Structure 1
Amino acid sequence: MVEELSLAMAALTLKAMSASSQLPVLQLRVLLAIDRHGPVSLGELAAELDLSLPSASRLVTRLADERLVLRRVPEHDRRLLRLTLAARGRTTLARLRDARREELDQVLARMSAADRTALVRGLTSFAKASEH
């Protein structure tokens, strides 16, 4: 049952992604990782997404060329490259989240109040357990 729930959530997310963005899934994963953990170094990003440094570098270059990601070098350490979201990257993720919320709202509207309460309680517990 948990696997079915996971697949249903993934399907909703993919539907929202196709409706809100023309970016490939891996590029969206980069934006989401930078948003969640940023600013990050290229090495941290590669590790987070289980990518090689050259692959991560190519992805970041594409996203920077599209003005979705900013590459910054801190004044205190010119050897360090920090990645942050550009305004366009934040807008892209906001559209994705809005589309996903709309998809989720449609599903939740078909559930009873008691089922929605139980779902929130269960997912909250699941999220806490997954952090360890």
Structure 2
Amino acid sequence: MATLLGTTANGTNAGNNVSNALNTVMKGSRYKFNWVWHKYSDINTIKDHITHAISYGNPVMVNTMESPGDCYLAGHNIGTTLYHYGIVADYFDYGNTVTYVDPGYGRYNGFRMNQRVSIKDMSYATGGRGYAW
């Protein structure tokens, strides 16, 4: 995936390259990933996309931008802006709560493998960046 995404020592850029890489890996799947640049307050759209994708059995890859005074996911409060990819793997309560799976678990102190996050907090953490659904 890192090669398909163009990942360097400086990280991985967000955008259509994410959905293109996922579609390459998932070749033959009926589901096609799409990239969406996300606005903080567009809670209903991210909720609809997450519930739709997961209903097809596909997770949603989110690119968060978490910073002081904004929204940090549990364990991510590092005191500075954090750009980070993760996976939304499940939803509950009609999409009002999601399960965020953190690939940083085990590499960074405090990062949790799985955490329940309100859709509002997920929307704000993803705001200014985007997601592949």
Q: Would the TM-score normalized by the shorter structure come out above 0.5?
A: no
Q: Which has the higher contact order (CA 8 A, sep 6+)?
A: 2
Structure having the higher strand fraction is: 2
More helix by share: 1
Larger radius of gyration: 1
User: TM-score normalised to the size of structure 2?
Assistant: 0.23
